[in-house]
Amino acid sequence: MAIITVSGLPGSGTSTTCKLLQEKLGWPYVNAGDFFRLLATDQGISLAEMGRRAEADGHVDRQLDERMVQFARQEKELILEGRLTGWMATRQGLPALKVWCQAPLEVRAGRVGQREGQAAEEAMRDIGARERSEHQRYHRHHQIDLDDLTIYDLVLDTAELSPEQVVARILETLEPPR
């Protein structure tokens, strides 16, 4: 089994990285955020409301984790994107190359603002609120500190590297699991 987990804060380049990896490798790609959005849609609530519910009830994240683990156990090769996918792989003992993408808040806000059609200042406020909520939620429900990057095999600065350079570094590091 070969798994690549790609995690990072909003606007850090995880989706771009995963899409490029999928193009290069031809592996299936699963995004935890898509499941989260689907849960919100299924319940007829906004993404922000879903976030509030997840903050109050750890079951929401556990449900997402279970779906991701199921995919990981079914596929021989897989790209998993999500804030907690590296932690999930570690805790489940899944053989994975765990990647964390990072960039300064200003860079990330610019990317999110451009993607969402927001001014950078508005995107920065939204990202700040979302990150505070997620930090509290993951700490309270999962005992995970998002600032602890020690579990990751690669920590890549996507402000300094182009998406192609990020993917090249991942592919250089990718080895068959032992």
pLDDT digits (tens, 9 = 90+) for 31-78: 988 877 888 888 898 877 887 887 787 777 777 778 778 878 888 899
Domains in the chain, number: 1
In a domain, residue 120? The reply is yes
pLDDT digits (tens, 9 = 90+) for 93-142: 999 999 999 999 999 999 998 888 998 889 899 889 889 888 988 898 88
The pTM assigned to this predicted structure is 0.87
**pLDDT exceeds 90 at position 81:** yes
Residue span of the structural domain in which 69 resides: 2-173
DSSP 99: E
In a domain, residue 110? The reply is yes
Residue 60 is part of a domain; what is its CATH number? 3.40.50.300
In a domain, residue 73? The reply is yes
Tokens of 49: 């409301």
Phi-psi region of 177 (alpha: psi -120 to 50; beta: other; left: phi over 0): beta
In a domain, residue 12? The reply is yes
The pLDDT, as a whole number, for residue 22 is 96
In a domain, residue 178? The reply is no
In a domain, residue 41? The reply is yes
Per the CB < 8 A criterion, the answer to whether 105 and 127 are in contact is yes
In a domain, residue 131? The reply is yes
